[in-house]
Structure formats: C-alpha cells, structure tokens
Copies of this chain bind each other. A is one copy, B any other.
Amino acid sequence: MVTGGKPRRILILGEGFSHDPHYGKTMRGIIRYGPDPVVAILDSARAGETREGIPIVGTVNDALCFDPTVAIVGVATQGGRFPPAWRELLKSCIAKGLDVENGLHEFISEDPELMQLATQFGVELRDLRKPPADLNVPTGANLELDTKIVLTVGSDCAIGKKTVAVELDLEARRRGLESVFVPTGQTGIAIAGWGIAVDAVVADFLAGAAERLVVEGVERGGRLLFVEGQGSLVHPMYSGVTLGLVHGAAPHAFVLCHLAGSTEIEGCPGHPIPPLPVLVEIHERISLPRRPAKVACIALNTSPIESDDEAQAAIAATEAEIGLPTDDPVRFGAGRLLDAILTRL
C-alpha cells in the first residue's frame, strides 16, 4: 500500500504486550500477512531483541533510524481501551512525523489534543475500527450475490479465524480462483486495506455491516469469499458480534476453528468450551433458516503442540471424532481444507 506516493514502512507499537499471545494478535497478523514492511517493533521491556527478524526498540526515537512512516497500534486490549501510558507514546509518534493507525474502540481521530498535534506536525490519524456513518440494517442483497461465501467461526477468540481465512484465500488464489479475503476486524483491515470492524458498529447494524462487506467482496471480483470470523457463539462477551456476522454475511459454509486442547474460554475462567460436535451442531442450527450452512471442515490450531508428528496425530484424532476433514492450515498448508470446502460448496 502506498499513501501519497511514499512507500509505507511500519513501526508496530506493542508496548507492554509483545509477549502476550492474545493481545499481540494484531501485531502478528500485520507482520505475517501485511503488504508493507514492518521495520521495527516498540516494546521497552524487550528493547534490543528481535522478533521474526524485526528489531525491537525501546522508544520512538530509537525507531527513527529504521525510517518508519506510520505507527500502527499493535495490540487488541480487552474492551478496546487504551492503556493510560499510551497517550504519551502516541504524542511522541505524532511529534516525530509518523502517521498513526489505531484499531482500538477509542478513536484517536476524535481526540482534540491528538488531532491538534497531528495538524501541527502534518501527519494523519486513522481509526481502523471507526465504522462508516451510513450503516443500516441489511437489505437482502447478501442473499442475491453471484458468489460462494465461506465464514471462519471458532470455539474462542484469538485462535486463528482471521489467519485461516487469509491462508484459504491465498491458497485459492494460487490455484487461480477468483477469491477475496473479506476483513471484518482491525487487523484484517490493516492487512487488506479495506473492510469494516463489525465489532465497533452500532449493534442494530451488525448484520447490515456484514452484508455490506460481502457485497464489496463481490465488487472486488470475488466469486469465492473467505470472510474473517469474529468472537465465538459460545463466548460470554462477544457472541452477539459473532451471530450478527453469521446472519449478515450469510455464508454457504463454515470453517470451524479450534485451538488444540483448549476446553475453557481464554480469560473467562469457568466458561467451558462445548465439545466440538456440539459446536458444529450449534453453528449449523443457528445459521440463517433462509440459507442453512454446514461446517465444511475443521481448522485445528496445533501451535501448542511441539512436534509435527504429534500435531498430525491430534488432527487425525479430531477428524475421526467429528467426521469432518481437519487440518492446521498454518502448519501444514491450506490445501486439504480448501479441497474440503470446494467439494461441499
């Protein structure tokens, strides 16, 4: 992505969060799938180290020798609020001439102090999660599109629903299919350069926002859409977002994502994850009566399992238990799952 003719070079702001598997998911997504180079990561607790070959720095000043053009908030805090210390960090970025992109629910472009500073230093502040002003309820266009829609769903947040959608889209395009990845959250938007963060819209317009995204996916040439899932139908905090997305995107098939071995919602002690066969049934039962959808396959995130052999064994065990094609598309490639989806569409 090029803004104003100047190639984007990204500084990721990960202060205090780069060790956390959950909160660092925005950062990982941008490093792994973003179109523009990440030249440095800011996290004072780990200054001097590297991450996936990228230098970690302690201050904005230290980052400047890597010539960044934009600072991206690389954390996704629970509830989407800024940790208080971040205000100074953002002001420092602005004062050094960096544009700032933010995916939290707190909008920097509506903050008078930050906006005044941005004007003074000639930089842009962009809120990736700020919804379009003209959203409404769905029109029914989602059911009239000449495309096949696949939605990734899951047993929890932050287990790879976006990553699975991106990997499936990449594999489909490698095969010459007219596939489009449809971003529905801040990291997906940072990766793809378009989209709506459906978790940030007025609740009544959830399905309408999801409908608009699949319509735009088709306008962007998609005859096959891989829609980034959000939350989980069994998550005590975010399930409403999930169901609005399920009904607004109106998928023809689901890919059910699960983190191998997990039995409880991350960060919600006492909230069990139902067994996978129950999850399959819940998703199929709650799919739009007008467009019933089946789970086509299981994407098993085997990252907690060290050896490839044991990961393969876990995949085989899940496949035997559920009776649906199962694989880890990040670890072993998305080919088998894409085959399973294309057979079932």
Chain A contact residues, CB within 8 Å of chain B? 78-81, 105, 136-138, 140, 198-208, 233-248, 250, 268, 270-274, 281-282, 285-286, 288-290
Contacts and interface: CB of A to CB of B under 8 A. Distances in A.
Contacts of A241: 203-204, 206, 240, 244
A309 to B, nearest CB: 33
Contacts of A268: 140
Given A81-B136, A203-B206, A270-B290, A243 B239 contact: yes
A57 to B, nearest CB: 31
Highest count of chain B CB atoms <10 Å: which of A204, A207, A237, A290: A204
Contacts of A208: 79, 237
6 contacts: A79-B205, A202-B202, A207-B239, A208-B237, A239-B247, A273-B289
A238 B203 CA distance: 8
A78 B138 CA distance: 10
Contact of A203 (B199, B234, B286): B199
A237 B290 CA distance: 12
A80 B204 CA distance: 9
B138 A204 contact: no
A197 B286 CA distance: 24
Given A136-B81, A289-B271, A198 B203 contact: yes
Given A138-B237, A199-B204, A204-B241, A285 B285 contact: yes
Nearest to A241: B203
A97 to B, nearest CB: 32
A235 B285 CA distance: 13
Given A271-B290, A282-B286, A203 B244 contact: yes
Given A203-B206, A282-B286, 9 more contacts: A78-B137, A80-B204, A200-B202, A207-B239, A240-B241, A243-B243, A271-B290, A281-B285, A286-B286
Contact of A289 (B246, B272, B289): B272
Contacts of A248: 236, 240
Contact of A286 (B78, B233, B250): B233
A245 B240 contact: yes
Given A289-B234, A289-B274, A240 B282 contact: no
